[in-house]
Amino acid sequence: MKDLPSIPKRIGAIKFGLLSPREVRKMSVTSIITADTYDDDGYPIDMGLMDLRLGVIDPGLKCKTCGSRAGECPGHFGHIELVAPVIHVGFNKTIRKTLRSICHNCSRLLLEAGKKDEFLARLDSSREMGHLPDDIVNEVFKEARKTKVCPYCSAEQKEIKFEKPTDYIEDGHKLTPTEIRDRFENIPDEDVKVLGMDPSSARPEWMVLTVLPVPPVTVRPSITLESGQRSEDDLTHKLVDIIRINQRFQENRDAGAPQLIIEDLWELLQYHVTTFFDNEVSGVPPARHRSGRPLKTLTQRLKGKEGRFRGSLSGKRVNFSARTVVSPEPNLSINEVGVPFEIARQMTIPEKVTSRNIELLRMYVERGSEVHPGANYVIRDDGRRIRVSEINKEELMEKIEIGWTVERQLMDGDIVLFNRQPSLHKMSIMAHRVKVLPYKTFRLNPAVCPPYNADFDGDEMNMHVLQTEESRAEASILMQVQENILSPRFGGPIIGGIHDHISGLFLLTRNENRITKNDALELLSKSDIRVLPEPASYSEDGEPLWNGKQIFSQILPKGLYLEFPSQVCFKCDTCKKKDCEYDAYVVIEDGEMIQGTIDEQAIGAFKGKILDKIVKEYGSDAGARFVDDFTRLAIRGVMKTGLSFGISDEDIPQTAKVQIGNLLNEAEGRVKKLIEAYEAKELEALPGRTLEETIEMKIMQELGKARDQTGNIAGRQLGLENSAVLMAKSGARGSMLNLTQMAACVGQQAVRGERIRRGYSGRTLPHFDKGDLGADAHGFVKSSYKSGLNPTEYFFHAIGGREGLVDTAVRTSQSGYLQRRLVNALQDLEVQYDGSVRETRGVVVQFKYGEDGIDSTKSDYSKPEAVHRIVRMVTGREVN
Amino acid sequence: MRKFSLLDHELIPKHEIMSEDELKAILKTYNIGKEQLPKIKIEDPVIQEIGAQAGEVVRITRNSQTAGQAFYYRHVIA
């Protein structure tokens, strides 16, 4: 292969400069002298703000400069000759600094020649290095300001005070823009260079405006209201003000008006020009519309979230999208999304008319836009869009011919993109197949909640309808939910059972459930199972009975071999594997579940070992089918047994309560002993800790231990027949800690990982003695949620709870910003076909993706067991 | 203070200057020019230590969590 040119294109440099008056006049197509816009016939006035040479916005008119029509003409600048110079607000800072560093008499930079050369040399070298000159220039300003007597003309320098917004006061006398401009004009080019400016593209005097560029009309289009009245853009209003004052100024000066009036008018002109650039300068009352609304001028257009950069360039609004609340529907496939009928009727897919589909498309048009699978628009071969209405649908149906396009309504089976913000990873936008449903919410299978991080407490999601064949093909191959079951983050399934799915299958597969034929058929009714296996046993009346493991086996693919410990595993020192006495070791042979219990480790999101294996071995189709099947089976399973939780499930026997009480008292006693030892200075400090830290740690340890022990006592009273324990042990929801807090003891409340210490001097609350180090004085909550907290406990609990809330709020905002920076830095990197990671210029970032070139979703965790499995499957022999 | 070789430090992976032929082979496998390699400044302490010149390419052999050992190539620039 021929050598490619190494780096294709590179921007050599970008240079910013100031617009000189000459440039403004050069780029201007006309001087604007009249404040009027349109004449009585509604035709733009020559040399007015809507002059036809500035570009056109009305259809039908032609631009006098370039001859193009509205939409083609980019617009052209005009200019206003200001009667007197005014300061440009945007340069106030630079003007102030420059004024203070030059001589008021000879305009030379207030530095010795040697110093200047030194700074110049430093600027040059920093430019060569590609550094910003800002720091050096600021040093120049600082140095020059210190000089009290001009080294060139020996004039004494006076302090220049800056007064908001645009006044410069020297020695009690206000400098007029003209004076400032004169001083700047006299600065020699060499001195300008020392100030970090390039005199050929940015002379300091250009910061004082003598001529104002007038933006093209295309930048400030007027809109015609329904009443036929014209409404001008805010910028146009501002320009009108400027021209009016400019004219009045001219007239007054020509008539020889008194100095006072001239000054007032000059200030007014300054005000209008200032607010034209920025209507939110501090110290300047914002210019308002007649209605009292502040005008949106140049700076306001660019700034902020809704400004040109963040609002129009970085982010845009899209068509063919819908948003509504989401709710669950376990009978849908994970690949589907339920779309409300009303949304489906408004969303369209363009379909080109061909000889093969013309009859079908005719049918859609015939139904019109009112009846569901209908059509909303028809596009003729010349590109005209015609809305399908009740009146014209028959006529349109007749007229349709090959080459036209029909925009038909969204139907079952169409592919759409579905998204929930914040879109933090690629699984936040996935492709689903449409299922049009009644009611007003998007419906999705709860198994796809984890990748979207969605729940149904009012979450809303967005849907985007794909408009081209290519995008639909790409979406269905790459973005469909089933193609994203495995997350590239950890190579395992991110989609999987949650809550009821886990409880349901846990209830179904544990123990030896006796399931009658009717129940078995009902459980499997929504899956594609046609034949039941040999029954496991028979009842006394000779009725066939199956067990839950058999039922679950029906949805497993043939030939699946798998062994793993489940979530309920007791983590014994030596795992007995197949001989596990707790039925916590799952064994699947040839798609037949031999033993074990299905729980979070088997089918849960982020964990699901079975799902992981099915996707990797049988492909995404089988994976999706398995998820669909087990969600339906689990829901029916949990409904068969029933699973509920109430306040009485937290009840523990009186004896246990007494035990817990005793245990906590003993712990308190031990804490008291520790404190006594500490106060008697008998306590030994731990290595690297102070005595205070040591006692805090020991108390925390003691109390933590006590809380765990109360949990164990409570846990002994509550077995797997308790639904909360069942949910916690199977991994469906909640934890044993949650249950401990509800039934036995809430435990220590902490702020920043320490016991609560803040509050009054020496104590947390007036209820305690000063210096009390005891458990209850520092936020140990003895009560359980069930028994209720006493007032001090309640208060400490609120402190700890508040910290949790603040933490989450801070964490999300910080990690969000971190993520944004990372994404911006990495977004253009791409894994090439040769496995290298490169950026857009072809510069290599990694020579092999992840250094090993492995796609984690395609790998089986690089474990030797994976090889053993393959050997076993192929040869039928065990290897080790 | 006794000066020690940077390369002896456990955090610094092996750096070596590549020969003309090796370089050619690498550039050919990736079908790129020298400019498209990641860069490293000649003032970099390791580069000073091994005495590589601007325009040369160094091969870095790193221990990798995923691959055990991974190669990286960096173009020395002035």
- What CATH code is carried by the domain that includes residue B73? 3.90.940.20
Per residue in A668-724, pLDDT (tens digit) is 899 888 888 888 888 888 888 888 888 888 889 889 889 988 888 888 888 888 888
Instruction: Measure the CA angle with vertex A863, ends A860 and A866; round to 5°.
Output: 60
Nearest beta carbon to residue A842 from set B36, B67, B71? B36
Whether residue B30 and residue A847 make contact (CB cut-off 8 A), yes or no, is yes
Nearest beta carbon to residue A847 from set B35, B66, B72? B72
- Stretch (H or E) spanning A389: none
- The correct answer on CATH 1.10.274.100 for the domain covering A500-554+570-582+594-641 is yes
Residue B59 in contact with partner chain A when CB distance is under 8 A:
no
Whether residue A844 and residue B71 make contact (CB cut-off 8 A), yes or no, is no
CATH superfamily of A31-76+215-310: RNA polymerase II, clamp domain (4.10.860.120)
Q: Using the predicted structure, report yes or no on whether residue A627 has a pLDDT greater than 60.
A: yes
Whether residue B64 and residue A851 make contact (CB cut-off 8 A), yes or no, is yes
Residue B33 in contact with partner chain A when CB distance is under 8 A:
yes
Chain A residue nearest residue B64, CA to CA: A851
Q: What is the amino acid identity at position A481?
A: V
Nearest beta carbon to residue B71 from set A842, A843, A847? A847
- Stretch (H or E) spanning A301: helix A298-302
Per-residue confidence (pLDDT) for residue A158, from 0 to 100: 84
Whether residue A6 and residue B67 make contact (CB cut-off 8 A), yes or no, is no
Residue B72's domain spans which residues?
8-77
Region A729-737 average pLDDT: 89
Chain B residues with beta carbon closer than 8 angstroms to that of A843 = 35-38
Rounded to the nearest angstrom, the minimum Cα separation between A854 and chain B is 9
Residues 841-880 of A with CB under 8 A from B: 841-845, 847-848, 850-854
Torsion of CA A295, A300, A306, A308, to 10 degrees: 120
Chain A residues with beta carbon closer than 8 angstroms to that of B37 = 843-844
Rg of chain A taking only CA atoms, in angstroms: 39
Instruction: Measure the CA angle with vertex A397, ends A395 and A400; round to 5°.
Output: 110
Rounded to the nearest angstrom, the minimum Cα separation between A839 and chain B is 10
Query: Could you tell me the residue ranges of all domains in chain A?
Result: 31-76+215-310, 90-205, 500-554+570-582+594-641, 647-796, 830-875
CB A868 within 8 A of CB A879: yes
CATH class of A647-796: mainly alpha
Whether residue A851 and residue B33 make contact (CB cut-off 8 A), yes or no, is no
Question: What's the token pair of residue A548?
Answer: 């839950």
Query: Residue A753: which pLDDT band, with cuts at 50, 70 and 90?
Result: confident
- Give the residues across from A751 on adjacent strands: A754
CB A684 within 8 A of CB A786: no
Region A238-247 average pLDDT: 92
3-state secondary structure of A832: coil
Chain B residues with beta carbon closer than 8 angstroms to that of A853 = 67
Q: Using the predicted structure, report yes or no on whether residue A785 has a pLDDT greater than 50.
A: yes
Per residue in A423-459, pLDDT (tens digit) is 888 999 999 999 999 999 999 999 999 999 999 999 9
Per-residue confidence (pLDDT) for residue A67, from 0 to 100: 84
Per-residue confidence (pLDDT) for residue A333, from 0 to 100: 93
Cβ neighbours of residue A745 closer than 8 Å, sequence gap 6 or more: A660, A664, A706, A707, A710, A711, A781, A782, A783, A784
Chain B residue nearest residue A838, CA to CA: B36
Region A70-86 average pLDDT: 90
Chain B residues with beta carbon closer than 8 angstroms to that of A851 = 62, 64-67, 70
Nearest beta carbon to residue A844 from set B30, B62, B66? B30
CB A637 within 8 A of CB A687: no
| Domain-located, residue B44 | yes
3-state secondary structure of A730: helix
| Domain-located, residue B42 | yes
Whether residue A1 and residue B35 make contact (CB cut-off 8 A), yes or no, is no
**Chain A interface test: which of B64, B66, B71 (most A C-beta within 10 Å):** B66
Instruction: Measure the CA angle with vertex A806, ends A801 and A812; round to 5°.
Output: 130
C-alpha distance from residue A219 to each of A278, A315, A427 (Å): 16, 20, 40
- Stretch (H or E) spanning B62: strand B57-64
Q: Scanning the structure block, which residue is given the tokens 């036995």?
A: A744
Side-chain-side CA neighbours of A599 within 13 Å: the count stands at 23
| Domain-located, residue B53 | yes
Instruction: Write b or e for each residue in A105-134: b if 16 or more Cβ atoms lie within 10 A of its Cβ, otherwise e.
Output: eebbbbbeeebbeebeeebeebeeeeeebe
Residue B70 in contact with partner chain A when CB distance is under 8 A:
yes
pTM: 0.77
Q: Using the predicted structure, report yes or no on whether residue A8 has a pLDDT greater than 70.
A: no
- Stretch (H or E) spanning A799: helix A791-826
Residues 820-839 of A with CB under 8 A from B: 834, 836, 838
Region A151-175 average pLDDT: 83
Alpha-carbon gap, residue A144 to A98, rounded angstroms: 9
Whether residue A841 and residue B36 make contact (CB cut-off 8 A), yes or no, is yes
**Three-class DSSP labels, A576-605:** CHHHCCCCCEEEEECCEEEECCCCHHHHEC
Q: Scanning the structure block, which residue is given the tokens 């010349």?
A: A382
Percent of chain A with pLDDT over 70: 99
Cβ neighbours of residue A579 closer than 8 Å, sequence gap 6 or more: none
| Of residues A639, A631, A627, the one with CA closest to residue A329 | A631
Whether residue B64 and residue A843 make contact (CB cut-off 8 A), yes or no, is no
Chain A residues with beta carbon closer than 8 angstroms to that of B73 = 844, 847
Residue A128 in contact with partner chain B when CB distance is under 8 A:
no
Percent of chain A with pLDDT over 90: 34
Nearest beta carbon to residue B31 from set A1, A847, A850? A1
Cβ neighbours of residue A627 closer than 8 Å, sequence gap 6 or more: A334, A445, A447, A485, A495, A496, A497, A611
Residue B71 in contact with partner chain A when CB distance is under 8 A:
yes
CB A637 within 8 A of CB A499: no
Per residue in A515-527, pLDDT (tens digit) is 888 888 888 888 8
- Stretch (H or E) spanning A449: helix A449-452
Q: Scanning the structure block, which residue is given the tokens 């700076």?
A: A299
CB A315 within 8 A of CB A287: no
Nearest beta carbon to residue B67 from set A1, A4, A852? A852
| Domain-located, residue B57 | yes
**Chain B interface test: which of A847, A856, A859 (most B C-beta within 10 Å):** A847
Rounded to the nearest angstrom, the minimum Cα separation between B1 and chain A is 31
Query: Residue A79: which pLDDT band, with cuts at 50, 70 and 90?
Result: very high
3-state secondary structure of A646: coil
Residue B5 in contact with partner chain A when CB distance is under 8 A:
no
Residue B36 in contact with partner chain A when CB distance is under 8 A:
yes
Side-chain-side CA neighbours of A846 within 13 Å: the count stands at 18
Residue B30 in contact with partner chain A when CB distance is under 8 A:
yes
Per-residue confidence (pLDDT) for residue A321, from 0 to 100: 95
Lowest mean pLDDT among A357-371, A668-682, A732-746, A866-880: A866-880
Rounded to the nearest angstrom, the minimum Cα separation between B65 and chain A is 9
Q: Scanning the structure block, which residue is given the tokens 């817990």?
A: A660
Whether residue A4 and residue B33 make contact (CB cut-off 8 A), yes or no, is yes
Complex ipTM tops 0.85: yes
The residue ranges of chain B whose pLDDT is under 50 are none
Nearest beta carbon to residue A848 from set B31, B34, B70? B70
- Give the residues across from A204 on adjacent strands: none
Per-residue confidence (pLDDT) for residue A6, from 0 to 100: 61
Region A318-340 average pLDDT: 94
Residue A4 in contact with partner chain B when CB distance is under 8 A:
yes
> DSSP E strands: which ranges in A176-302?
208-214, 223-224, 230-231
Q: Using the predicted structure, report yes or no on whether residue A420 has a pLDDT greater than 60.
A: yes
Chain B residues with beta carbon closer than 8 angstroms to that of A842 = 32, 36
Chain B residue nearest residue A847, CA to CA: B72
| Domain-located, residue B73 | yes
CB A78 within 8 A of CB A33: no
Residue B78 in contact with partner chain A when CB distance is under 8 A:
no
Look at chain B and report how many structural domains it folds into.
1
Whether residue B70 and residue A851 make contact (CB cut-off 8 A), yes or no, is yes
3-state secondary structure of A404: coil
Region A36-65 average pLDDT: 83
Chain B residues with beta carbon closer than 8 angstroms to that of A5 = 33
Whether residue A6 and residue B34 make contact (CB cut-off 8 A), yes or no, is yes
Whether residue B36 and residue A844 make contact (CB cut-off 8 A), yes or no, is yes
Question: How far is C-alpha A607 from the chain's CA centre?
Answer: 26
Cβ neighbours of residue A646 closer than 8 Å, sequence gap 6 or more: none
Question: What's the token pair of residue B72?
Answer: 């990286």
| Domain-located, residue B33 | yes
Torsion of CA A21, A22, A28, A32, to 10 degrees: 50
Alpha-carbon gap, residue A635 to A632, rounded angstroms: 5
Q: Using the predicted structure, report yes or no on whether residue A1 has a pLDDT greater than 50.
A: no
Question: Edge-to-edge strands of the sheet including A348-352?
Answer: A348-352, A405-409, A375-379, A385-387
**Chain A interface test: which of B18, B24, B29, B35 (most A C-beta within 10 Å):** B35
Per-residue confidence (pLDDT) for residue A7, from 0 to 100: 65
| Of residues A27, A34, A67, the one with CA closest to residue A49 | A34
Chain B residue nearest residue A4, CA to CA: B32
Per-residue confidence (pLDDT) for residue A288, from 0 to 100: 87
Alpha-carbon gap, residue A683 to A591, rounded angstroms: 62
List, in sequence order, the alpha helices (H) in A14-154. 21-27, 92-101, 113-129, 134-146
Rounded to the nearest angstrom, the minimum Cα separation between B21 and chain A is 16
Q: Using the predicted structure, report yes or no on whether residue A3 has a pLDDT greater than 70.
A: no
Instruction: Write b or e for each residue in A745-776: b if 16 or more Cβ atoms lie within 10 A of its Cβ, otherwise e.
Output: bbbbbbeeeebbeebeeebbeeebeeeebebb
